[in-house]
Amino acid sequence: MHFSELTELLSVIEFHDWEFRCGTLGDGYYMHVQFKAPGICTNQEADWNGRKWYVSKFATQDEVVLTCFKAVMTAVEHETREHFLFHGKAIFNPHPDVGMLLKLADQRVYRT
């Protein structure tokens, strides 16, 4: 798949008002979603980018479309984790510091 083919394919995929962006990466490409949403700390609307997904230069149309779907599902899950509150707190927050998670794991806090 050439870069122009990838950009053309991304241009016909739709989800809400989100955009699918791409660029070159190593011997292939990457794609990600971009959308506007309020920031979790500021509540001010801003542009947000989902994580980058690698797309091989040998990728098929099916693989690219499925990767775009996965990118959307992952970004929606991320937003859900930010906005799902329990006692007013985002207990499934997708932004924890790995060091803090490691400390929590050392405490062996489990359900009873």
pLDDT for position 42: 83
Render pLDDT for 15-60 as a digit per residue (tens, 0 to 9): 999 999 999 999 999 999 999 988 777 888 888 999 999 999 999 9
Rounded to the nearest angstrom, the gap between the alpha carbon of residue 107 and the centroid of all alpha carbons in its chain is 30
Render pLDDT for 63-84 as a digit per residue (tens, 0 to 9): 999 999 999 999 999 999 999 9
pLDDT for position 108: 79
Say if residues 53 and 10 touch (Cβ distance below 8 Å). Answer: no
- Say yes or no to pLDDT of 111 above 90: no
What global pTM score does this model have? 0.86
